[in-house]
A and B are shown apart, each in its own frame.
Chain A
Amino acid sequence: MLELEALRITRDDRLLVDLTLAIRPGQVVTIMGPSGSGKSTALAAITGTLAPAFARTGRIILNGNDISSLPTRLRRVGLMFQEPVLFPHLSVAGNLAFGLPSSVRGRQARQARIAAALASAGLDGLADRDPATLSGGQKARVALLRTLLAEPAALLLDEPFSRLDAALRAQIRQSVFDSARQAGIPTLLVTHDAEDARAAGGPVLSPLGGTLPL
């Protein structure tokens, strides 16, 4: 369960974000608004990467723990950007291994986990590939796998589908939502696209907390 308790973010006395909400495991809540409306600022507050120019009040609660002041790496909040942001100097397997917890020990065990993850997404045999040689859809899937392998307790999506073409978009969107539901991860989607919001199936809010009709 991901809860925002009166999360308010201001910059130069301008209120950008004012949210109180609770996302159940497997549920997808959407924040929708035009660009510059503070959607991504809300996500930055939840990942703990808010620039010093912003001021935050309120609390972020994940599974009962207040994570508001934890460093990013300890929050267990997964994030997907507009672009896949694969690490260009690592192979596909190297990218996935970067996400896999170090508690999975031994080269063989780790390779097996990576191969299984790739197979589950229909990406068999791509382990040693240069990420730059993948198609747009493949890159998006690898980015999703990398995020999920880290076993996040919550998932944040920063317009992750906006760069994909229409056919691919529906497909990738579906597999992201399905994966989140299956794993029982509370998910927060940020988008300016009403179709994304409809597909998410959960409540839709503005960054300042109002409920939006679709």
Chain B
Amino acid sequence: MTLLRLAPPLTLGLMAVPVAAGLAGTALPAFGNGGAGFARLLDWPGLPRAAALSIGTGLAATVLSLALTVLILAAFAGTPAFARIRRLIAPLLSVPHAAAALGLAFLIAPSGWIARALSPEVTGWETPPDLLILNDPFGLSLTLGLVAKEVPFLLLMALAALPQVDADRRLTIAATLGYGRIAGFVLTVLPALYRQFRLPTYAVLAYGMTTVDMALILGPTLPPTLSAQITLWMSEGGLARRDMAAAAAILQLGLALCALTLWHCVEIVARHLIRATAFHAPRLPQLDRPATLAAHLGSLAVAGSLILGLAALSLWSVAGPWQFPDALPESLTLRTWDSAAPALAATAGTTLGIALAATATAIALTLACLQAETAEHLVPTSRALTLLYLPLIVPQIAFLPGLQTLALRLGLDGTALAVATIHLTFVLPYVFLSLAGPFRAWDGRIATTAATLGASEGRIFWRLRLPMLAGPVLTAFAVGIAVSIGQYLPTLLIGGGRVETLTTEAVALSSGGNRRLIGAYAVLQLLLPAFAFALATAIPAVLWRNRQQMRGLH
């Protein structure tokens, strides 16, 4: 019992301490040397544009993602289309950011799959056109990639919150009062629903502004987004560069805070607008058709760009000769896989080892926290929930450079163990969010019944609660694996370039031209989490093949 008590502070510490220490480690060199870092940063001519790109792509991606999410929910909630979307969310969510970005790049590049499919018949192109579609100077392809990756995340968060706000009955009441679907949803469900996914939206905004892997693959180059430039400076090395990178990281943190504050103000205005609109009771049924059409197109674009992009990656990994205007390769071959097998296997092994270590630790800590909550009758505070989101909202680029400097000083960088430890910081929130709901929703009368039969707390946990929660635990495990495999910046910086995972390799390869090898790395990056999710579905199905209630059949 006493050990259990330590679990919540330990877990919060594992999330808060790296963030705090990293921020301090970034601030010291940034403000040290009489502010030389900032002086050099201000002399860099690319600064205004890099900063504008960061703000612009981040805000645009967040607005679009949120709008599309709300549109999909409003147009499809309770329809058969919704059930189809629901089934797609988990697999799409498990696609690592880098793989999604690479897939999109393989689709929309001037020599990408779309151009090949349309050439030469539609476009008349015999050679790839000289267009800057990928890495476009306005960050449009980066924004598109971010939207494709964030909509499934926001949808998942919304799905968990919908039953809590009694959405079905509110929508029915709005419909019986003559409201269209869109108006009914926005006026009766959205305000309560948004309160539930405000923190996830902040995470999306902060991530969108500061992503490095997606920006390196899809974003502009001269200059790149601020975060991407910071990473480039960090990897160039040299003390002057580091001070400049640290100053830029502090600036990036400030920009993110400004954007979050702006977002919060818009929230308040929007809340008043919705309330004022509701007073005039516009039914707006004429919105339903165009909105449903837009939701269809939007969800098709998101799912399509992810799925086709991944198909393009897979196809390239087994492609023989593939000349430009051809829609398909001349032949299929396993040569790429064959020749890269030793390197692929080693990298996949490292990736999986780190992911398993971080996830297993995260699951154990999360279960200990939740069990402590039960045993000690602790009530989770909203402050604890905010702390949980801390590593997701504070931009990685703001605190990881500082943490790398600290790790370097302490001689802790560059090992798989150090990388797994920093992965734990990012895996923990997702594992906790995924597991807390089912754990808390577990029927407490079962514990009471068992206790009256003489069972100890330990026996109730190991024999009843844990087995009954096997499904959610395995799902949380798969989520953790997917999060860990997707980490780019922590792996790059804390690994000091010496710990190679599928993600760091795939991003490193992306600047070169070997599409077959990129495809192989990205496919493997994709398959590992997919395999974890498949296991999380298959194991409970086998375990509970003779237990109707455990499979949700009553």
By a beta-carbon cutoff of 8 Å, the part of chain A in contact with chain B is: 47-49, 51-52, 71-79, 81, 83, 85, 87-89, 91, 98-99, 101, 130-133, 146-147, 150, 152, 156
B440 to chain A, nearest CB (A): 15
Which chain A positions have C-beta within 8 A of B454? 73-74, 76, 99, 101, 150
Asked if B448 and A47 sit within 8 Å, CB to CB, the answer is yes
Which chain A positions have C-beta within 8 A of B531? none
Which of A73, A75, A79 has the most chain B CB within a 10 Å cutoff? Answer: A73
B123 to chain A, nearest CB (A): 59
Which chain B positions have C-beta within 8 A of A74? 454
Which chain B positions have C-beta within 8 A of A87? 446, 450, 464, 468
Q: 14 A–B contact pairs at CB < 8 A?
A: A48-B451, A49-B451, A52-B377, A71-B451, A72-B451, A72-B452, A73-B456, A74-B454, A81-B445, A81-B448, A88-B547, A91-B546, A132-B554, A147-B453
Which chain A positions have C-beta within 8 A of B128? none
Which chain B positions have C-beta within 8 A of A71? 451
B2 to chain A, nearest CB (A): 16
Partner of A150, one of B453, B463, B547, B550: B453
| Alpha-carbon gap, A156 to B448, bound state (A) | 12
Partner of A98, one of B450, B547, B550: B450
Q: Is the interface of B mostly helix, strand, loop or mixed?
A: helix
Which chain A positions have C-beta within 8 A of B544? 89
B172 within 8 A of A: no
Known pairs A98-B463, A150-B454; A88 contacts B549 (CB<8 A): yes
Asked if A79 and B452 sit within 8 Å, CB to CB, the answer is yes
Partner of A146, one of B453, B463, B467, B548: B453
Closest to A129 in B: B546
A104 to chain B, nearest CB (A): 13
Which of B377, B443, B451 has the most chain A CB within a 10 Å cutoff? Answer: B451
In the complex, besides A73-B454, A132-B547, 15 extra interface pairs with C-beta distance below 8 angstroms are: A52-B377, A73-B456, A77-B452, A78-B453, A81-B448, A85-B443, A88-B549, A89-B467, A89-B547, A98-B463, A101-B454, A130-B546, A130-B549, A133-B548, A156-B452
Closest to A94 in B: B463
Partner of A81, one of B449, B453, B548, B550: B449
| Alpha-carbon gap, A198 to B519, bound state (A) | 76
B473 to chain A, nearest CB (A): 13
Known pairs A89-B547, A89-B550, A130-B547; A98 contacts B455 (CB<8 A): yes
Chain B contact-residue range equals 20 to 34
By a beta-carbon cutoff of 8 Å, the part of chain B in contact with chain A is: 377, 443, 445-446, 448-456, 463-464, 467-468, 470, 544, 546-550, 553-554
| Alpha-carbon gap, A81 to B453, bound state (A) | 13
Compute the total of residue contacts between A and B using a CB distance below 8 Å: 77
B183 to chain A, nearest CB (A): 39
Partner of B448, one of A72, A91, A99: A72
| Alpha-carbon gap, A48 to B447, bound state (A) | 12
Which chain B positions have C-beta within 8 A of A91? 546
| Alpha-carbon gap, A98 to B454, bound state (A) | 9
| Alpha-carbon gap, A49 to B444, bound state (A) | 10
B435 to chain A, nearest CB (A): 17
Closest to A79 in B: B452
Closest to A152 in B: B452
Kindly list the 3 A-B residue pairs having the minimum CB-CB distance in the complex, ordered from nearest. Answer: A72-B451, A88-B549, A132-B548
| Alpha-carbon gap, A89 to B468, bound state (A) | 6
| Alpha-carbon gap, A99 to B463, bound state (A) | 12
Asked if B446 and A73 sit within 8 Å, CB to CB, the answer is no
Which chain B positions have C-beta within 8 A of A150? 452-454
Which chain B positions have C-beta within 8 A of A130? 546-549
Closest to A156 in B: B452
Closest to B443 in A: A85
| Alpha-carbon gap, A75 to B448, bound state (A) | 12
Which chain B positions have C-beta within 8 A of A78? 452-453
Which chain B positions have C-beta within 8 A of A51? 377
Which chain B positions have C-beta within 8 A of A77? 452
Closest to A133 in B: B548
Which chain A positions have C-beta within 8 A of B452? 47, 72-73, 75, 77-79, 147, 150, 152, 156
Which of A51, A75, A130, A147 has the most chain B CB within a 10 Å cutoff? Answer: A130
B380 to chain A, nearest CB (A): 15
Which chain B positions have C-beta within 8 A of A131? 549
Which chain B positions have C-beta within 8 A of A101? 454
| Alpha-carbon gap, A156 to B449, bound state (A) | 11
| Alpha-carbon gap, A134 to B547, bound state (A) | 12
Which chain A positions have C-beta within 8 A of B547? 88-89, 130, 132
Partner of B451, one of A47, A147, A156: A47
Asked if B468 and A88 sit within 8 Å, CB to CB, the answer is yes
| Alpha-carbon gap, A76 to B454, bound state (A) | 7
Which chain A positions have C-beta within 8 A of B548? 130, 132-133
A140 to chain B, nearest CB (A): 14
Which chain B positions have C-beta within 8 A of A73? 451-456
Closest to A46 in B: B452
Which of A89, A130, A150 has the most chain B CB within a 10 Å cutoff? Answer: A89
| Alpha-carbon gap, A147 to B468, bound state (A) | 21
Closest to B463 in A: A98
Closest to B376 in A: A52
| Alpha-carbon gap, A152 to B377, bound state (A) | 27
A93 to chain B, nearest CB (A): 13
Partner of B453, one of A49, A98, A132, A156: A98
Closest to A84 in B: B449
Partner of B445, one of A85, A99, A156: A85
| Alpha-carbon gap, A49 to B375, bound state (A) | 11
| Alpha-carbon gap, A150 to B366, bound state (A) | 33
Which chain B positions have C-beta within 8 A of A48? 451
| Alpha-carbon gap, A147 to B456, bound state (A) | 16
Which chain B positions have C-beta within 8 A of A81? 445, 448-449
A180 to chain B, nearest CB (A): 15
| Alpha-carbon gap, A79 to B455, bound state (A) | 13
| Alpha-carbon gap, A83 to B445, bound state (A) | 10
| Alpha-carbon gap, A101 to B453, bound state (A) | 9
A89 to chain B, nearest CB (A): 5
Closest to A91 in B: B546
Closest to B445 in A: A85
Which chain B positions have C-beta within 8 A of A83? 445
| Alpha-carbon gap, A87 to B449, bound state (A) | 10
| Alpha-carbon gap, A47 to B453, bound state (A) | 11
| Alpha-carbon gap, A156 to B452, bound state (A) | 10
A20 to chain B, nearest CB (A): 23
Which of A72, A131, A132 has the most chain B CB within a 10 Å cutoff? Answer: A72
Closest to B447 in A: A49
Which chain A positions have C-beta within 8 A of B448? 47, 49, 72, 79, 81
Closest to A143 in B: B449
